Chains A and B, each alone.
Chain A
Amino acid sequence: MSIKTSAHSPLVADLASRFQEAPWLVQQRERAFALYTSMPSPKLEKTDLRDRPWLVESIPSATTGGAGAAAQALLEGAKAAGGAYVYVRDGVTIETSLPHSLAKQGVVLLDLHTAVDQHPEWVRRHLYSVVPAEESKWAALNAALWHGGVFVHVPSGVRLELPIHFIYEETMTGKGGLPRSLIVVEDRASLSFAEAYLCHGERQEGVVHSAVTELVVGPDADVTAACLSRYGKGPTNFFTRRAKLADNASVDWVIGDVSDGFTVGLVESRLEGPGSKSTTRSFGVGYGRQRLDFTASMDHFGHHSESDITLMGVLRGRASSTYRSSTHIERGADEASSEQHDRMLMLGSRAQADAIPMLLIDENDVQRCGHAASVGRIDENQVYYLMARGIPRAEAERMIIWGYLQPLVDAFPVEPWRSEVASWIDGELNLR
Chain B
Amino acid sequence: MSSPVLTIEDLRVSVEDKEIVKGLSLQIKGGEIHAVMGPNGTGKSTLASALMGHPAYSVTSGRVTLDGEDVLAMSVDERARAGLFLAMQYPAEVSGVSNANFLRTALNARRGEGNELPVIKFHRLLQQKMKDLNIDPSFAERYLNEGFSGGEKKRNEILQMSLLEPKIAILDEIDSGLDIDALKLVADAVNQLRSPQTGFLIITHYQRLLQYIVPDYVHVMMQGRIVKSGDKTLAEYLEANGYDTLKRELGIVDETVGAEA
B64: min CB distance to chain A, Å: 15
On whether A385 and B91 interact (CB within 8 A), knowing A390-B110, A390-B164, A403-B96, the answer reads: yes
A402 to B92, alpha carbons, bound, how many Å? 16
Most chain A CB atoms below 10 A, which of B86, B106, B110, B143:
B106
CB <8 Å contact, A380 and B55: yes
Interface status of B102 (Cβ within 8 A of chain A)? yes
Taking beta carbons and an 8 Å cutoff, which residues of A are in contact with B?
Answer: 379-382, 384-393, 395-396, 399-400, 402-407
Stretch at the interface among B5-13, B76-84, B228-236: B76-84
CB <8 Å contact, B92 and A406: no
- Looking at the complex, which one of A379, A386, A405 makes contact with B102 (CB distance below 8 Å)? A386
On whether A406 and B96 interact (CB within 8 A), knowing A387-B77, A387-B80, A388-B88, the answer reads: yes
Known contacts A390-B110, A391-B80, A392-B109, then 14 further A-B pairs from the complex at CB < 8 Å, ordered by chain A residue: A379-B92, A382-B93, A384-B54, A385-B94, A387-B80, A390-B77, A391-B106, A393-B77, A399-B94, A399-B97, A400-B94, A403-B94, A403-B97, A404-B96
On whether A403 and B95 interact (CB within 8 A), knowing A388-B76, A388-B88, the answer reads: yes
A202: min CB distance to chain B, Å: 33
Name the residue of chain A whose CB is nearest to the CB of B92.
A385
A379 to B92, alpha carbons, bound, how many Å? 9
On whether A404 and B95 interact (CB within 8 A), knowing A388-B88, A389-B109, the answer reads: yes
CB <8 Å contact, B91 and A389: no
Interface status of B195 (Cβ within 8 A of chain A)? no
A-B contact count (CB 8 A): 74
Q: Is the interface of A mostly helix, strand, loop or mixed?
A: helix
CB <8 Å contact, B94 and A388: no
B222: min CB distance to chain A, Å: 27
Within 8 A of A (CB), among B79-125: 79-81, 86, 88, 91-97, 101-102, 105-106, 109-110
Name the residue of chain B whose CB is nearest to the CB of A389.
B106
A403 to B145, alpha carbons, bound, how many Å? 13
A405: B residues at CB distance < 8 A: 96
CB <8 Å contact, B96 and A384: no
Name the residue of chain B whose CB is nearest to the CB of A404.
B96
Most chain B CB atoms below 10 A, which of A388, A390, A400:
A390
A406: B residues at CB distance < 8 A: 96
CB <8 Å contact, A391 and B86: no
A387: B residues at CB distance < 8 A: 75-77, 80
B77: A residues at CB distance < 8 A: 387-388, 390-393, 396
B88: A residues at CB distance < 8 A: 385, 388
* Cβ-closest 3 pairs across A and B: A403-B96, A390-B80, A389-B106
9 intermolecular pairs with C-beta atoms under 8 Å apart: A384-B54, A386-B94, A388-B52, A388-B86, A391-B105, A393-B75, A399-B105, A403-B94, A407-B96
B198: A residues at CB distance < 8 A: none
Within 8 A of A (CB), among B27-67: 52-55
Residue-wise interface mask of B (224-248) relative to A, using a CB-CB cutoff of 8 A (1 in contact, 0 not): 0000000000000000000000000
Interface status of B160 (Cβ within 8 A of chain A)? yes
B171: min CB distance to chain A, Å: 13
A389 to B104, alpha carbons, bound, how many Å? 11
A386 to B96, alpha carbons, bound, how many Å? 14
A142 to B69, alpha carbons, bound, how many Å? 67
- Looking at the complex, which one of B80, B95, B97 makes contact with A388 (CB distance below 8 Å)? B80
On whether A381 and B96 interact (CB within 8 A), knowing A390-B81, A395-B105, the answer reads: no
A405 to B93, alpha carbons, bound, how many Å? 16
- Looking at the complex, which one of A384, A391, A395 makes contact with B92 (CB distance below 8 Å)? A384
B81: A residues at CB distance < 8 A: 390
